[in-house]
Structure 1
């Protein structure tokens, strides 16, 4: 079957003149996919592409004015069905747009979603976004979870969110912070991103999404997300419209999360600084630690792409820790500057920070500590570039107890829930 699909792609029948024959072949292949129970994912990358093409062809077939025996110019393709949004005002935290609730349920059940529903979903999401987004989010909680890069690892995100739903039943005030990089590198990045955003909207009091270096149009164009959208949705205008809505979210995401960890009596016990990349460094005066109060004044969003990043934004979204480095190291070629323990210690001491949690680096075990366990790095997917690389992990910080890395394993997570 794989060889057959490969030949179909090479022939590029979707661009041929015989639309009816193409539709018949595609439907036959979809039938083969539906009878294939060996796939880990119920909807595979290839079947999603083919189903999108079938929907497109059927739309042409239904249109009385379409000449199915001829290839229409791209700018002549018309979509007969108008996209309708169902958005209701928020009066209570748990009341949300039906499309958001429906998409969340479908994705948690690993069900396919049509283009019109994706577009309606993302347009609805903007109803819940604060117009004057702040670059730094401040919160307090006795328990918090941190998720590193997920990079389109949809199946593992389902596992984590299933676990989080149960945690929120036990700890209604728990905080869950996603540290960016929701797309690129894996084929199911649209599903992964959409599920995380739906989870965020459904549990707005509990969930925070911050920006990673892959929430960026230049990066998306180079590392897979745009290509995946084009493969899923064959009409160029559809891709442009959907990505335009997604980009509005990307550029307005906060950059930093500050968590005041409290005891069950409300006493402050720890201060956690979380970010996608690294700590901010003043390149001209690296010996001067940057204070959060000054950083907030000089950190502005939205910013469209890394090409327009300020010096601080580049450090926060792109930098990496380096254990045996004195001071810092600039890397203008990749943008991935490095900072050593002395620079790090200056920053956390000046701002009374106990732990820094970050993501950004591929880790085969999903978890690594630096600088005497005061910096924790997370990678929350075991798949990278669509292949297995190791084990993903996420992090729990609970009152003044030792921090706990949690593997993305359903058996382990089910057992973990029994301790509460």
Structure 2
């Protein structure tokens, strides 16, 4: 099982909002959950990359292997802070290239930049979350958005809670190598 750092999980690294969960914790619970900061921002395997938001869009992925506090000051190839691309980045079928959404303040990435970056790193598939309205397969079957939060299902923003199962030892050639399971079926 691979868990990734999402935008709300980084609350103690950056004062992110909304943060109802973090603010509701007493000191003992906070000490227990703060270890979430050790979750990786990116998971890579042969043919596969996974992130909470979008891709980092940096030439050297080594920068994200053991991120230090200065990674919050670094920008990607589109002049967007790397950590914002990886934790808050959204896919957008109507965008060509990359841009910041003026309403949400979140970066939006179009199909061509996603597919080019996947190809550059020899990845066939991106598995991600963060964007309940994009749930399922997109970008010619090269991007899968899954969602596990019951709160978003209850609000009607996500269709179902799901996980992706892949064989990391044998690599991922494409969407046929991914099984998507609804959490209600487990």
The answer to whether residue 97 in structure 2 is matched with residue 331 in structure 1 is no
- Give 1 or 2: higher strand fraction: 2
The answer to whether residue 110 in structure 2 is matched with residue 344 in structure 1 is no
Q: Pairwise mapping of residues 15-26 of structure 1 onto structure 2 (< 5 A)? A: none
> Structure 2, unaligned stretches of length 5 or more?
75-80
Q: Which residue of 2 aligns with 1:274?
A: 50
Checking the alignment, whether the CA contact within 8 Å between 1:278 and 1:358 is kept in structure 2 is yes
Secondary structure of 2:96's counterpart equals coil
TM-score (norm 2): 0.76
Displacement of 1:301? 2.5
User: In the superposition, relative to structure 1, how do residues 402 and 252 fare at CA in structure 2: closer, same or farther (>3 Å)?
Assistant: closer
Q: Which residue of 2 aligns with 1:255?
A: 41
**Whole-angstrom CA distance in 2 between matches of 1:298 and 1:332:** 27
Q: Pairwise mapping of residues 70-219 of structure 1 onto structure 2 (< 5 A)? A: 176-177=1-2, 209-215=3-9, 216-217=11-12, 218-219=15-16
Checking the alignment, whether the CA contact within 8 Å between 1:211 and 1:250 is kept in structure 2 is yes
Q: Which residue of 2 aligns with 1:392?
A: 161
Structure scoring higher RCO (CA < 8 A, sep ≥ 6) equals 2
**Per-residue CA distance 1:99-150 (angstroms, 9 max, x = gap):** xxxxxxxxxxxxxxxxxxxxxxxxxxxxxxxxxxxxxxxxxxxxxxxxxxxx
Secondary structure of 1:356's counterpart equals strand
**Whole-angstrom CA distance in 2 between matches of 1:406 and 1:356:** 17
User: In the superposition, relative to structure 1, how do residues 362 and 298 fare at CA in structure 2: closer, same or farther (>3 Å)?
Assistant: closer
Displacement of 1:350? 0.9
The answer to whether residue 29 in structure 2 is matched with residue 242 in structure 1 is yes
> Structure 1, unaligned stretches of length 5 or more?
1-175, 178-208, 230-238, 261-270, 282-289, 414-420
**Whole-angstrom CA distance in 2 between matches of 1:327 and 1:299:** 26
Displacement of 1:396? 2.1
Q: Which residue of 2 aligns with 1:168?
A: none
**Per-residue CA distance 1:12-55 (angstroms, 9 max, x = gap):** xxxxxxxxxxxxxxxxxxxxxxxxxxxxxxxxxxxxxxxxxxxx
Displacement of 1:388? 5.4
User: In the superposition, relative to structure 1, how do residues 224 and 367 fare at CA in structure 2: closer, same or farther (>3 Å)?
Assistant: same
User: In the superposition, relative to structure 1, how do residues 332 and 241 fare at CA in structure 2: closer, same or farther (>3 Å)?
Assistant: farther
- Give 1 or 2: higher helix fraction: 1
Checking the alignment, whether the CA contact within 8 Å between 2:54 and 2:128 is kept in structure 1 is yes
Q: Which has the larger radius of gyration?
A: 1
**Whole-angstrom CA distance in 1 between matches of 2:73 and 2:88:** 11
**Whole-angstrom CA distance in 1 between matches of 2:68 and 2:19:** 22
User: In the superposition, relative to structure 1, how do residues 368 and 402 fare at CA in structure 2: closer, same or farther (>3 Å)?
Assistant: same
Displacement of 1:227? 4.2
Displacement of 1:279? 1.1
